[in-house]
Structure 1
Amino acid sequence: MTIKNSNKGRIRRQFIILISFLVLLLIIFYLLFSYGAFESDYEDIEDKEKIDPLAADYETYYLDNSPENKQIKYGFELFTNTAKYLGPSNGKEEMIYSGNNLACNNCHLNAGTKPYSGMLIGVIKRFPQFRGRENKIGTIEDRINGCMERSMNGKELPPNGKEMKAFVAYMNWLSRHAPEDGKVEGMGYARIEIPDRAVDLEKGEKLFLKKCASCHGQDGQGIPLKYNPGYLYPPLWGEDTYNNGAGMTRVITAAEFIKTNMPYGASFNDPELTDEESYDLAGYINQKERPVKSNPEFDFPDLKKKPVSTPYPPYADPFPVSQHQLGPFQPIMDYYQKEYGITKIK
């Protein structure tokens, strides 16, 4: 056998081996795909039927830069750094919509994902909804603008503007694992047993100094950020906080928030304050001066729908403003039950 023929035979054998290997590889891949070996775990993770909304990943950092995800990420930025983009010191006069330097995140904790802190997971699926303050069915955009005017002491965002669309996109994303009715454990605030007495302002002050002043300051003015507008811990009264039209100025609402969220680190399952302590703290904080919303008398066209601890008149009952601000609230609730057949819980 010549060297030339030997080389040809070797090349032929190598070629046959290569072809056989490729055929075997194709068979292996076919079998693997047929039996689902390459099915992505990501599909299971993102299957909203299988995931607990409270256990989902709400970290926007890992989203790619598709147009949809950029809008979600901008909504997250607006939510957590509201003053930077919309506050009075943002450097763009045409973009000043907030009248204070708070962030949405100051009330809706953990970027809107903490249970019983006005959590936003599922919230968008509960809209449109009826709201007694306006006495009509409102959209999620209406609700956002209500916060802008009250909690942020500012003015409405354009309903179809870039910022409003980003807020809505972020809320939609937060609600992606929520059931169709949007009802998720931890929504709203946890109920407290309302003491059958007036707020004790002296006890509230002592509790504030002991439990709250280390973060919010003895003067209640919070701790501002060093290099950006906004606060590490927000002010609770004074000119740079929520106005008297905000839901947090109601003693019962504020007490519910405080009970499961304050001091920092407290939660529904691990509260630090009792119902009575939360009640006295809420009353103390909300007796302090703060901005006044324009035309609060136009709230609640049907006065019977007004929460009993709304701190400003008019009311559909004979009780004085001081009692609506500080309680006791049970006599007011009893009045609405007797006169109007309405059961009030807040």
Structure 2
Amino acid sequence: MKYLMTLALLMTSLTTLGNSLPDGPPEGGASILPADHDIPKDEFGKMVRQGQLIFSNTGQFAGAYVGNDLSCRNCHLDQGRKAGSAPLWAAFLSYPAYRAKNHRVNTFAERLQECFVYSMNGKAPPLGDPILVALESYAYWMEKNAKINPLLQERGIPQLQKPGTPPSYERGKTVYANNCALCHGTSGQGRRANDGHMVFPPLWGDRSFNWGAGMAHLNKAAAYIKTNMPLSLGGSLSDQDAWDVAYFMDGHNRPQDPRYTGSVDETRALFHRTQNSLYGHLVAGHVLGNDPVSKN
């Protein structure tokens, strides 16, 4: 009973967090962001509000381009405002920019397209699509009081140095059970509210992000976890615990990398030749990327 009461409280709190925009500055940020009631009551404001809806419930409002149970707000916390969780407004100020992932300069709209392809395990809305325009409008509106700065401290996710001891699947399993399973489920498939919408996102399996997503890289996952998790308790895990639980999370199979060539070895050589990717590695008895995980 105590477990159920705690879970209900957590789910209620996150639902409230995900569906409201607080006034005031972003947590840890230097820029004052506009409040929800500042959205103008004109045609531009309508597009901003549509972007806000897409950001909060991506599958509902952009379902044609989403292939899993994630929404933008699951990773970009506090409705895309929170520093240290790749805030949307700071990303808007950081583009155009060169990306090593595709070896060219990307616009902000192109960066959003990749979020749909990889993190949402879906497909990219065409450039100029109302969905992209709405998300761009929401990001643009949020950053209206910020200053353009390529070294903006709030952008992206703070880097986390590798621990003294290599990360461990077994240690990560313990960290997950003690700190993550209550929200994300013992099998990592997330938890839904009574009305059916996903409150805590799945972390692996066929309804999570695919192997091409940034969170499938240990360094990015560990840094995000250290800064932001458990929810509202960011910074409470040790660096070692963050790396260990990132290893455990990324040590499970998930949807295939959209760039898959037909060979796990070849795909790894082309796109995952880094110590931070477990793709193609034998972990817990499975060669990751080999198991058939469906893409809906």
Q: Could you say which TM-score interval applies, normalised by the shorter chain?
A: 0.7 to 0.9
Counterpart position of 1:330: none
Counterpart position of 2:123: 155
Counterpart position of 1:285: 249
Are the equivalent residues in 2 in contact too, given 1:112–1:120 (CA < 8 A)?
A: yes
**Distance in structure 1 (CA, Å) of the matches to 2:33 and 2:256:** 39
Counterpart position of 1:264: 231
**Distance in structure 1 (CA, Å) of the matches to 2:205 and 2:229:** 20
Is 1:191 equivalent to 2:167 in the alignment?
no
Alpha-carbon distance, 1:57 to partner: 3.9
Alpha-carbon distance, 1:122 to partner: 2.6
**Distance in structure 2 (CA, Å) of the matches to 1:193 and 1:214:** 27
| Counterpart mapping for 1:301-316 below 5 A | 308-312=275-279
Partner of 2:65, secondary structure, is coil
Alpha-carbon distance, 1:55 to partner: 5.2
Alpha-carbon distance, 1:196 to partner: 4.0
Q: TM-score, normalised by structure 1?
A: 0.67
**Structural RMSD (CA):** 2.7
**Distance in structure 2 (CA, Å) of the matches to 1:85 and 1:147:** 15
Are the equivalent residues in 1 in contact too, given 2:29–2:83 (CA < 8 A)?
A: no
Are the equivalent residues in 2 in contact too, given 1:250–1:309 (CA < 8 A)?
A: yes
Alpha-carbon distance, 1:54 to partner: 4.1
Alpha-carbon distance, 1:204 to partner: 0.5
Percent identity at matched positions?
Answer: 29
**Distance in structure 2 (CA, Å) of the matches to 1:80 and 1:304:** 30
Alpha-carbon distance, 1:59 to partner: 3.0
Is 1:144 equivalent to 2:112 in the alignment?
yes
Decide whether aligned partners of structure 1 residues 120 and 307 sit closer, same or farther in structure 2, where only a CA change above 3 A counts.
Answer: farther
Which of these residues, 76, 80, 85, is aligned with residue 52 of structure 2?
76
Alpha-carbon distance, 1:289 to partner: 1.6
Unpaired segments of 5 or more residues in structure 1?
Answer: 1-51, 88-95, 314-320, 324-346
Alpha-carbon distance, 1:115 to partner: 1.0
Are the equivalent residues in 2 in contact too, given 1:60–1:76 (CA < 8 A)?
A: no
Which of these residues, 248, 253, 262, is aligned with residue 220 of structure 2?
253
**Distance in structure 2 (CA, Å) of the matches to 1:214 and 1:182:** 38
**Distance in structure 2 (CA, Å) of the matches to 1:172 and 1:307:** 34
Larger mean CA deviation between 58-67 and 239-248 belongs to 58-67
**Distance in structure 1 (CA, Å) of the matches to 2:241 and 2:126:** 40
Unpaired segments of 5 or more residues in structure 2?
Answer: 1-27, 284-296
Alpha-carbon distance, 1:146 to partner: 0.5
Counterpart position of 2:169: 201
**Distance in structure 1 (CA, Å) of the matches to 2:61 and 2:105:** 29
**Distance in structure 2 (CA, Å) of the matches to 1:154 and 1:283:** 24
Are the equivalent residues in 2 in contact too, given 1:296–1:312 (CA < 8 A)?
A: no
Counterpart position of 2:70: 102
Are the equivalent residues in 1 in contact too, given 2:29–2:154 (CA < 8 A)?
A: no
Is 1:231 equivalent to 2:198 in the alignment?
yes
Decide whether aligned partners of structure 1 residues 136 and 107 sit closer, same or farther in structure 2, where only a CA change above 3 A counts.
Answer: same
Amino acid at match of 1:178: A
Partner of 2:105, secondary structure, is strand
**Distance in structure 1 (CA, Å) of the matches to 2:138 and 2:192:** 26
Amino acid at match of 1:290: R
Partner of 1:258, secondary structure, is helix
Partner of 2:199, secondary structure, is strand
Alpha-carbon distance, 1:191 to partner: 1.9
Which one has the bigger helix percentage? Answer: 1
Partner of 1:126, secondary structure, is coil
Rg larger in structure: 1
Alpha-carbon distance, 1:307 to partner: 5.0
Partner of 1:137, secondary structure, is strand
Alpha-carbon distance, 1:200 to partner: 1.2
Decide whether aligned partners of structure 1 residues 126 and 297 sit closer, same or farther in structure 2, where only a CA change above 3 A counts.
Answer: farther
Q: TM-score, normalised by structure 2?
A: 0.78
Counterpart position of 1:273: 237
Decide whether aligned partners of structure 1 residues 193 and 286 sit closer, same or farther in structure 2, where only a CA change above 3 A counts.
Answer: same
Q: Relative contact order: is structure 1 or structure 2 higher (C-alpha 8 Å, sep ≥ 6)?
A: 2
**Distance in structure 2 (CA, Å) of the matches to 1:125 and 1:63:** 19
Superposed CA offset, 1:164-221 (max 9, x none): 1001111111221221225432321122220244321111001101101111111111
Are the equivalent residues in 2 in contact too, given 1:128–1:138 (CA < 8 A)?
A: yes
**Distance in structure 1 (CA, Å) of the matches to 2:54 and 2:189:** 22
Alpha-carbon distance, 1:222 to partner: 1.1
